[in-house]
Amino acid sequence: MPRDTHIPNGQEILPEGPDRVAQLTAQVKALNDDLRHHSATDVLRAAIEHVPNLALVSSFGAESVALLHLASMVKRDLPVLFIDTEMLFTETLVYQQELGERLGLRNIQIIRAADIAEKDPDGTLHQRDPDACCAFRKTVPLQTALQGFDGWITGRKRFQSGTRASLPFFEVETPGDAPARIKVNPLAHWQAGDVADYITENRLPRHPLVAQGYPSIGCAPCTSTVKPGEDPRAGRWRDTQKEECGIHFVDGKMVRTGAKT
């Protein structure tokens, strides 16, 4: 973090309201301006320093190990929220446990929906309404868990989809009725090759399904293998216009769908 960086109001987070949004907007602008040429590690350190109550959200998917490794080197007791939708691949559940132990992550919190038996008793909602399935299995439990935090860290990257093409390091998120908070994207500027190189150079274990043709991994029923030459996310909600699971917000609204690019 540059020594001459000046962040408005330090670590003070105001109550919800126009003043809070204005403060966070100024804080985000300062952080983006000061860190625009800095590394993902610098962004993580700045986030931990200037956002008083911060969590990292991870799917423990195909590329998650890079960000988790960076976080483990900066703050091993950083809260890591892992959403178990109860429709994940068995390989993902095993990988989450093994990776947490290997990286020494001391504060992994497993999040689950409380009403799955009521809303999807036969486990077929994803076939009829994938948006609704994502919402109650993933989006709502995560947003509930995040209510205790002033900001969260994601693994999103610009190259992943058209909706992420101009992704900044820091954003202000206004999630409906919940207080505004800061979203941090340390890997925003990384390319696919950067992720692969980082994993190789640091000898990090890959998700076992990557070698089986899954470059992007979500819930088992909605994830398929990807053929050579296809977009890495082509296997997510294949043959639909759906592109996002719904955990990300733009101007207060969830981003759930969009043309695949």
Rounded to the nearest 5°, which phi and psi values hold at 207? -60, 130
Q: Which residues contact 6 (CB under 8 A, 6 or more apart)?
A: 30, 34
In the predicted structure, residue 259 carries a pLDDT above the cut 80 = no
In the predicted structure, residue 4 carries a pLDDT above the cut 60 = no
pLDDT band at residue 242 using 50, 70 and 90 as cut-offs: low
Q: Are strands 54-57 and 80-83 parallel, antiparallel or unpaired?
A: parallel
Q: What is the pTM of this model?
A: 0.83
Q: What is the largest CA-CA distance in the chain?
A: 57
Please return the burial class of 99, using the count of CB atoms within 10 Å of its CB with bins 0-12, 13-18 and 19+. Answer: buried
pLDDT band at residue 61 using 50, 70 and 90 as cut-offs: very high
Per CATH, the number for 18-213 is 3.40.50.620
Q: Over pLDDT 90: what percentage of the chain?
A: 57
> Domain locations in the chain?
18-213
CB atoms within 10 A of CB 117: 9
Give catalytic status of residue 245 as yes or no. yes
Q: For residues 201 and 256, what is the distance between their CA atoms, to the nearest angstrom? A: 34
pLDDT, tens digit, 9 for 90 and up, residues 6-19 = 333 344 455 556 68
